[in-house]
Amino acid sequence: MSTQDAELPKAPRVEGAPPHLLIVRAPYYRDVVDGLTTGAQRILTEANATAEVLDVAGAFELPQVIRIALRGHRKFDGFIALGCIVQGETDHYDFICKATMDGIMSVSLQFGIALGTGLLTCDTIAQAEARSNQDGHNKGAEAAAAALLQINAARHLGAV
């Protein structure tokens, strides 16, 4: 299914207290990641959730910083990872995409956290812009909705 075929993300209703999330973002492509962040924050606001935003050096650091946040004393109900990796002329793209996604999944599974992922892996910047604008299917909004649904599931199942 293409991005154009997907339904626009809507904020799910969250059971219990309003959730507090950490948005960890890699703003190498600042305009794209700002668009993802705006989309995520729109969904969170609609769901009466709050969020803090923390920038990291690059996509590779996303899972590392989420893990650091889990070690800290501050409590987050969920996490949203946002970033953009655009294909270049070398194999670097493949290595960074795989390592970052594997790291995000590893942290999520190992620690059982609610984690929405809005990491764009695109061939061109135009593809990234299409997935981060506010007029279309914003992947940051989708990541926020996914994180909220996971928070709901964890609360419903008594996992928190």
Backbone phi and psi for residue 122, each to the nearest 5 degrees, phi listed first: -125, 155
pTM (2 decimals)?
A: 0.94
Q: Which of 20, 73, 92, 156 is catalytic?
A: 92
Q: Given 3.40.50.720, 3.40.50.2020, 3.40.47.10, 3.40.50.960, which CATH number is that of 20-157?
A: 3.40.50.960
How many other C-beta atoms are found inside a 10 Å radius of the C-beta of residue 138?
26
- Give the pLDDT score at 134: 87
**Gap between the Cα atoms of 88 and 123, Å rounded:** 8
- Dig out the tokens for 24 from the structure: 């960890």
CA atoms within a 13 Å half-sphere pointing along the CA-CB vector of 155: 15
Q: Distances in Å between the alpha carbon of 7 and those of 67, 93, 97, 105, 142?
A: 32, 29, 26, 25, 10
How many other C-beta atoms are found inside a 10 Å radius of the C-beta of residue 123?
10
- Give the pLDDT score at 1: 45
- Dig out the tokens for 27 from the structure: 């703003």
Residue-wise pLDDT for 77-111, tens only, equals 999 999 999 999 989 999 999 999 999 999 999 99
Confirm whether 92 is a catalytic residue: yes
How many other C-beta atoms are found inside a 10 Å radius of the C-beta of residue 75?
8
Q: What single-letter DSSP state applies at residue 49?
A: -
The low-confidence residues of the chain, meaning pLDDT below 50, are: 1
CA-based nearest residue to 131, from 39, 21, 42, 27: 39
> What residue spans define the domains of the chain?
20-157
